[in-house]
Structure 1
Amino acid sequence: MEDSHRLSVHRFLGGGLVADTLLWKKPFGGIVLLASATALWLLFELGGYNLLSFISNVLLLLISILFLWGKSASLLNRPLPPIPDLEISDQSVAKAADAMRAWINYALSIAHDVAVGRNLKFFVQVAFVLLVVSFIGNLFNFLTLIYIGVLLSLSVPVLYDKYQDHIDEKLCQTHRVFQTQYRKIEDNLRKRIPLPQQKEKKIQ
């Protein structure tokens, strides 16, 4: 019997097809995703293929097949290609715009807090994240990062679901160590970079 505090990874991932694929409950989907990602990474990285050329060639092949299919269908009295009317609804555009606006506002609020908020703790957190991203970006190119993300998404959730109790315990210990080190760094920064204090106005 599972503990009541145990996190349901399947529910956290949405509980649908994506969750089933990432947790390997439907192995076929995971195998297809892994094989496709590996094939594309090998094609671009080892084969030296260009992403723009690949997309153009795929689209060219696709429209050529559809064009020949449509021409032959009209000549041979066959059914046309089963292509639905592709149209983006106003609702989809509005949802995408709302989601993008929320992310942009969040990023702007972070920039505002760092620039004028004078929150040293928040500044150190943002600077640390940016340094980590910069370091990782220097080690791998964008396509390799996407491939690593696919590999992690197909391995981390299923491993966490299986060994959740042990991982949570180790993460708590690691978090306590980081918190201790972070407090030391923050105290040192406060001593070296004293923040200006607002002077109270004298009341005559």
Structure 2
Amino acid sequence: MDDSSSSDSDNERFVNPTARKKHLFGRTEPLHKVLGNGKSADVILWRNKQLSGSIVGCVTFIWCLFEWLNYHLLTILCYSLMLLLAILFVWSNASSFFKRAPPRFPNSIVSEETFLCIAQRVRYEINEAFITFQYVASGKDLKTFLMVIAGLWILSIIGSWFNFLTLFYIVFVLLYTLPVLYEKYEDYVDRVGEKALVELDKQYQVLDAMILQKIPMVSLMNKKQE
């Protein structure tokens, strides 16, 4: 009986450190599951290197067309449609001479079910964004309000350095590289991130004690929360 209980305690000592491990932002599930646990997560985490590399390559090629060759969206769209129409036109007329099947055009590209699913997802994200905006603007959480203001201010500075297309491309590349790097160096990033969050919390406490508490509106807000 004692041997079994001691072995159980040994197993708990072995299992608990990983079970109690703290992840960044309080994450409790694997990163793959957080990202949707499907094909999109496989692409973002480079499970399929050929597909992920192809997507990044295509986006990089499009960015080069706009930024380095100074193409415009309408120009590229018109050229692409002209090329596609020319190929289909020649194919349709030449199929009878070469006894080949003409091109088959689908009756619909986007099904009603797919469209409704996309619309429902967009509606959900818009409502979530509005709820978050309402919560931040309601004055119930000063810390979150200051973090959002600081984030928007930093984003406005970064936006002044690049045009919208370049900024979108940078964000896209970061979204395709940071998750896989985080998954590779997860333990180290979690430790550094936890220390950074603790330090930010300390700096906020100093700011709150030295400046924020001296503002009458902030003091009244804290009293209401208490």
Q: TM-score, normalised by structure 2?
A: 0.73
Instruction: Name the CA distance, whole Å, in 2 between partners of 1:89 and 1:74.
Output: 31
Rounded Cα–Cα distance in structure 1 between residues aligned with 2:134 and 2:46 = 42
Tell me, which stretches of 5 or more residues in structure 2 are unaligned? 1-14, 24-28, 222-226
- Higher RCO, 1 vs 2 (CA within 8 Å, ≥6 residues apart): 1
Matched letter for residue 121 of structure 1: K
- Using the alignment, how far apart are the partners of 1:91 and 1:56 within structure 2? 30
Q: What are the within-5 Å matches in structure 2 for residues 5-16 of structure 1?
A: 8-16=30-38
CA distance in 2, matches of 1:149, 1:102: 23
- Counterpart Cα distance in 1 of 2:72 and 2:131: 37
- Structure 2 partner of 1:183: 205
Letter in 2 for 1:92: T
Are the structure 2 counterparts of residues 17 and 170 from structure 1 closer, same or farther at C-alpha, using a change threshold of 3 Å? same
1:96 is the counterpart of 2:114: no
Instruction: Give distance in 2, aligned partners of 1:151 and 1:84.
Output: 33
1:124 and 2:117 matched: no
Give the Cα separation in 1 of the matches to 2:101 and 2:87.
Answer: 15
Moved more, 175-184 or 29-38: 29-38
Matches of 2:137 and 2:177, distance apart in 1: 38
Query: 1:118–1:195: 8 Å Cα contact kept in structure 2?
Result: no
Count of equivalent residues: 197
Select 2:51's aligned residue among 12, 15, 29.
29
Question: Structure 1 residue 20 and structure 2 residue 34: aligned?
Answer: no
The yes-or-no answer on 1:107 pairing with 2:129 is yes
Query: CA offset at residue 161 of structure 1?
Result: 1.6
Gaps of 5+ in 1: 199-204
CA RMSD in angstroms comes to 2.8
**Which deviates further from its counterpart, 170-179 or 57-66?**
57-66
TM-score, reference length from structure 1: 0.79
- Work out the CA distance in 2 between the residues paired with 1:38 and 1:175: 34
Q: Is the 8 A contact 1:43 1:49 kept in 2?
A: yes
